[in-house]
Amino acid sequence: MHTIDFEPVGRRGKCPDGESLLECGRRLNVDIVSICGGMGICHQCRVQVISGPVSGRTPEEAEAFSEQERGRNCRLACRTWPQGDVKVHIPPESLSAPQRTQVEGLEVEIEPEPLVRGFEVRLTPPTLEEPASDERNLKKALEGQHGVRAGIVDLGVLQEGFPKIREWGWKLSAAVRGNEVVALGAPATRWLGLAADIGTTKIACYLVDMQTGKTLGSRGLMNPQIAYGEDVIARIYAAGKGPENAEKLQDLLVQALDKALGSLCEETGAVRSEVVDAVIVGNTAIHHLFLRLPVLQLGRSPYVPALSSALDVKARDLGMELAPGAWVHLLPNIAGFCGADHVSMLLATGLAEMEGVNLAIDIGTNTEICLNVHGRMASVSCASGPAFEGAHIRHGMRAAPGAIEHVRLSAAGLQVQTIGNKPPIGICGSGLLDVVAQLRLHDILDSSGRMLPHPLVRPMDGSREFVLVEREAEEAITVSQKDVRELQLAKAAIRLGIRALCEAEGLQEGAIGHVLIAGAFGTFIDVESAVAIGMLPPLPLERYRQVGNAAGTGARLALMSRGQRLEAERIAERTRYIELAGIPDFSRKYAEASVMDAR
């Protein structure tokens, strides 16, 4: 009997001899993805063995991994049998929901260099002979004991923190940002930071220890603004209708963040007043709605942001309850449809620093793509729409338990994998992408995207639909011709964006050395499927890398490092924005990008 540690989910349990990592994980409720059911065929259950003895590599695995991956001890969980105590890392793309959320991302190691630092100080009780004000007393202690010159004490700190100085017996912990005291606490307070990536659909929040940089907890939640429209255009018009609306839209985000922070605090034994810094990223529209900036101009040519530079604003000015003097940092926007989340993704992936020709793509309701050609950076924004979130799809649903997330059609028939291995109730974005790719690979779709006759295809409303799952009491789960068209619109927009960037540089797509795929959706798609329908170019698969929520990771980097904030500004400054609607021959190129072929 061996002990197995599954990371980063933190599940640990016993594994008898003869049980594979996949079987062990399932028994311990660690939902590792597997479509083929453990036959070594689907290559979805990829894990990394960190330590401990395991069985030797199988022939199936030789095929599944690149040499580099083999060197990192990457294995298929279904083909790996522990032979002692083992520690395993499960990458996000191999985890099925609900463990998988939009919060997992790159873990990039950086030297903590936070703007806000904590200092333990001891004040001198005043006397009639030396009646120093509490504020002078604190400043003197900071300078004398730590060489820190804090010229400013935030008003909130004077109001909320100073009344406690005597309670603390003149000993306390001070959080200092540059030359400003932003919080006071009892001695040895653990100061925290909040990073958040606010997407059009989802929000990811991280609570970080400001001294070590360690992420103490994370939360994923829905963006409650969805009640005002699924895409940002709808919300722009909603906010533009009047100040109450704009306030409401802002308030929804502030409350959502506050709720997430509340549960993160509960989980980690923290309190809001210990959160001394925050970094928040989002696309330009969300960024503007969060700050309650004017947005109507974002929806009209020439689509300019009100604000593009990075911004520091007091948390209280946004209605956020953090430490009394806490600031919130917003990364810069590049253009009206290329926002701080894109900059954050570029920061986390390190695309700007990579040599050669490389592409980074953040797939979501809106998809932003950046091409770095020997240091020249250009970005486009593509309206990929909400199909990936399951919206406007007949049996579409979000990536939640019971959603069909992976599909394979083979001689053995149709295999579907649902999130959490629950009975299927609908189909999520990655499942839809898989279905359409399988249909195309088996010529049930032609290259124009038209559905052809097949035993599993049946007529529907004058068109056709493909039956994915027959159910006894309920109607079948199907993919209709219209669903295929929705996905086709999205894939055409993305492919057009990639081609436009290459064309602007006079390059062929084949010249791209690496493609970094970020974003909640991008993390979980099958890249082969995306290539099969021509959403992504037909590059060797090893050039693709799925990096999880890179925008969230970028926010954490900026939270922990002033250098990373400056780097984000440099990235925004040097990245040229190309307006897709303005490229020559737009219609022809769009039609070409719609073709459902791997080419």
Nearer to a second copy, 284 or 417 (CB): 284
Task: Between 71 and 131, name the residue whose CB sits nearer to a second copy.
Answer: 131
Q: Are 551 and 518 in contact (CB under 8 A)?
A: yes
Least separation in angstroms between CB 127 and a second copy: 5
**In the structure encoding, which two tokens stand for residue 382, read together?**
């593509």
Whichever of 148 and 291 has its CB closer to a second copy, that residue is 291
* CA dihedral sign of residues 548, 101, 223, 196: negative
Q: CA dist 295 to 102, 245, 254, 573, Å?
A: 27, 12, 18, 22
- Number of residues this chain uses to bind a second copy (CB under 8 A): 43
Instruction: Please say which residue, 28 or 313, places its beta carbon nearer to a second copy.
Output: 313
Among 28, 234, 271, 307, binds a second copy (CB under 8 A): 307
Contact flag: residue 583 with a second copy (CB under 8 A)? no
Select from 8-16, 131-139, 197-205, 384-392 the region that touches a second copy (CB under 8 A): 131-139
Which one of the spans 259-267, 403-411, 575-583, 590-598 is the region binding a second copy (CB under 8 A)? 575-583
Minimum gap (Å) between residue 309 Cβ and a second copy = 6
Sequence-distant (≥ 6) Cβ neighbours of residue 192 within 8 angstroms:
207, 208, 209, 210, 216, 270, 274, 275, 276
Q: H or E stretch including 208?
A: strand 202-209
For a second copy, the closer of residues 165 and 456 by Cβ is 165
Instruction: Specify the stretch interacting with a second copy by CB under 8 A; choose among 93-101, 109-117, 134-142, 219-227.
Output: 134-142
Smallest gap from Cβ 316 to a second copy, in A, equals 7
Q: Does residue 402 touch a second copy according to CB under 8 A?
A: no
DSSP string over 216-264: EEEEEEE-GGGGG-SSHHHHHHHHHT-HHHHHHHHHHHHHHHHHHHHHH
Binder of a second copy out of 55, 83, 145, 159 (CB under 8 A): 159
Residues 6+ apart with CB under 8 A from 269: none
Return the number of the residue (2 or 589) whose C-beta is nearest a second copy.
589
Task: State how far the Cα of 233 lies from the Cα of 221, in Å rounded to an integer.
Answer: 21
Using CB under 8 A, which residues numbered 318 to 347 contact a second copy?
A: 333, 335-336
Q: Which residues contact 302 (CB under 8 A, 6 or more apart)?
A: 336
Question: Do 156 and 181 contact (CB within 8 A), yes or no?
Answer: no
Determine the Cα–Cα distance for residues 587 and 564; give it in Å rounded to an integer: 40
Closest approach, Cβ 284 to a second copy, in A, equals 9
Consecutive H or E run containing 532: helix 527-532
438 binds a second copy (CB under 8 A): no
Tell me how far, at minimum, the Cβ of 306 lies from a second copy, in Å: 5
Instruction: Pick the binder of a second copy from 92, 185, 305, 350 (CB under 8 A).
Output: 305
Contact stretch for a second copy (CB under 8 A) within 2-10, 183-191, 303-311, 502-510: 303-311
569 binds a second copy per the rule CB under 8 A: no
**Euclidean distance between CA atoms 435 and 427, whole angstroms:** 10
Q: In the complex, what is the shortest distance from the CB of residue 501 to a second copy, in angstroms, rounded to a whole number?
A: 18
| The 544-548 sheet, strands edge to edge | 544-548, 514-518, 357-362, 367-373, 376-382, 575-577
262 to 291: interface string for a second copy, x by CB under 8 A: -----------------------------x
Residue 37 vs 582, nearer CB to a second copy:
582
Measure CA 594 to chain center: 27
Shortest distance, position 574 Cβ to a second copy, whole Å? 15
Binding-site member from 10, 131, 147, 584 for a second copy (CB under 8 A): 131
- In this structure, the strands spanning 463-469 and 457-460 are antiparallel
d(CA 528, CA 515): 13
Q: Which is nearer to a second copy, 120 or 134 (CB)?
A: 134
Residue 258 or 579: the one with the smaller Cβ distance to a second copy is: 579
Q: Does 128 bind a second copy (CB under 8 A)?
A: yes
Q: How far is CA 233 from the centre of its chain?
A: 21
Contacting a second copy (CB under 8 A), which of 306, 414, 456, 595?
Answer: 306
Element (H, E) at 373: strand 367-373
Q: Taking CA 310 as the corner, what is the angle to CA 339 and CA 271, rounded to the nearest 5 degrees?
A: 95
Q: Which stretch binds a second copy (CB under 8 A): 16-24, 50-58, 125-133, 421-429?
A: 125-133
Q: How far apart are CA 80 and CA 61, in angstroms?
A: 10
CB of residue 502 vs a second copy: minimum separation in angstroms? 21
CB of 579 to a second copy, least distance (A): 6
- Site of tokens 């897709």: 580
Residues forming a β-bridge with 448:
none
| Nearest CA-CA partner of 319 in 265, 228, 252 | 252
CA 430 to each of CA 11, 511, 524, 526, 581: distance values in angstroms, whole numbers, following the listed order: 26, 27, 6, 7, 27
Q: Which is nearer to a second copy, 46 or 288 (CB)?
A: 288
Site string for a second copy, 161-190 (x = CB under 8 A): -xx--x------------------------
Q: How far apart are CA 243 and CA 107, in angstroms?
A: 40
- Residue 529: CB partners within 8 Å, gap ≥ 6? 433, 434, 436, 437, 438
Quick check: 584 binds a second copy (CB under 8 A)? no
Which of 301, 448, 463, 508 touches a second copy by CB under 8 A? Answer: 301
CB-wise, 99 or 333, nearer to a second copy? 333
3-state secondary structure of 207: strand
Identity of the residue, 120 or 579, whose beta carbon is nearer to a second copy in the bound complex = 579
* Identity of the residue, 117 or 292, whose beta carbon is nearer to a second copy in the bound complex: 292
Candidates 70-78, 265-273, 299-307, 504-512: pick the segment binding a second copy (CB under 8 A): 299-307
**Residue (68 or 127) nearer to a second copy, CB:** 127
Q: Which residue in 110, 155, 541, 591 binds a second copy (CB under 8 A)?
A: 155
Cβ atoms of 537 and 113 within 8 Å: the answer is no
The residues binding a second copy (CB under 8 A) are 126-128, 131-137, 153, 155-156, 158-159, 162-163, 166, 291-294, 297, 301-309, 311, 313-314, 316-317, 333, 335-336, 577, 579, 582
